[in-house]
A and B are shown apart, each in its own frame.
Chain A
Amino acid sequence: MAEHVLEMKNVTMQFGGVVAVNNLSLEVNKGEIVSLIGPNGAGKTTAFNVVTGVYAPTNGAVYFNGNHIVENYPRGKMKKLYAGTNRGDYTKHIEPTPDVITKLGIARTFQNIRLWKSQTVFTNVLIAKHMRRTSNIFTATFRLNRKEEKKQREETAELLKILGLYDVKDELCTSLPYGLQRRLEIARALATNPSLLLLDEPAAGMNPQETAELTDFIRKIRDDFHLTVFMIEHHMDLVMDISDRIYVLNFGALIAKGTPEEIQNNPEVISAYLGESNDVR
Chain B
Amino acid sequence: MNALQNNLPYILAGISTGGQYALIAIGYTMVYGILRLINFAHGDVFMAAGLIMISAYGFMPLWVSIPFTIILTVLLGFAVERVAYKPLRTAPRMSIMISAIGMSYLLQNLALYFTGGLLKKYPTIPWISDSITIAGAITKRVTVITPFLTILLVVALVLLINHTKIGMAMRAVSKDFETAQLMGIKIDSVISTTFIIGSFLAAVGSILFFSNYPGVTPTVGGMPGLKAFVAAVFGGIGSIPGAVIGAFLIGICENIIKGVGLTTFSDAFTFVLLIAVLMFMPTGIFGEKVTDKV
Contacts and interface: CB of A to CB of B under 8 A. Distances in A.
Q: Are A and B direct contacts in the complex by CB distance below 8 Å?
A: yes
A54 interface: yes
Contacts of B291: 15
B interface, by DSSP: helix, strand, loop or mixed?
A: loop
Nearest to A54: B294
Nearest to B293: A45
Contacts of A16: 289
A49 interface: yes
Nearest to B288: A16
A54 B294 CA distance: 8
Nearest to A77: B289
A56 to B, nearest CB: 12
Interface in A11-50: 15-16, 45, 49
Contacts of A45: 294
B95 to A, nearest CB: 16
A54 B289 CA distance: 17
Q: How large is the interface on B (under 10, 10 to 19, 20 to 34, 35 or more residues)?
A: under 10
Contacts of A15: 291
Nearest to A15: B291
A134 B80 CA distance: 51
Interface string B262-294: 000000000000000000000000000101001
Q: How large is the interface on A (under 10, 10 to 19, 20 to 34, 35 or more residues)?
A: under 10
A45 B289 CA distance: 20
A1 to B, nearest CB: 34
Nearest to B289: A16
A16 B290 CA distance: 11
Contacts of A49: 294
B292 to A, nearest CB: 9
Nearest to B291: A15
B113 to A, nearest CB: 40
Contacts of A54: 294
Contacts of B289: 16
Contacts of B294: 45, 49, 54, 110
A163 B287 CA distance: 47
B293 to A, nearest CB: 9
Interface in B247-262: none
A16 B283 CA distance: 15
Nearest to A16: B289
Contacts of A110: 294
B150 to A, nearest CB: 33
A80 to B, nearest CB: 15
B93 to A, nearest CB: 16
A198 to B, nearest CB: 12
A137 B291 CA distance: 33
Interface string A105-134: 000001000000000000000000000000
A248 to B, nearest CB: 22
A62 to B, nearest CB: 16
B185 to A, nearest CB: 26
Interface string A93-114: 0000000000000000010000
Interface in B61-89: none
Nearest to A114: B294
Nearest to A110: B294
A15 B289 CA distance: 10
A102 to B, nearest CB: 14
A54 B292 CA distance: 10
A211 to B, nearest CB: 24
A54 B291 CA distance: 11
A48 to B, nearest CB: 9
A24 B289 CA distance: 25
A110 B294 CA distance: 8
A97 to B, nearest CB: 13
Interface string A42-70: 00010001000010000000000000000
A225 to B, nearest CB: 25
Nearest to A98: B294
A15 B291 CA distance: 9
Nearest to A52: B294
A64 to B, nearest CB: 20
Interface string A71-86: 0000000000000000
6 contacts: A15-B291, A16-B289, A45-B294, A49-B294, A54-B294, A110-B294
Those 5 A-B pairs whose CB atoms lie nearest each other, nearest first? A54-B294, A49-B294, A15-B291, A45-B294, A110-B294
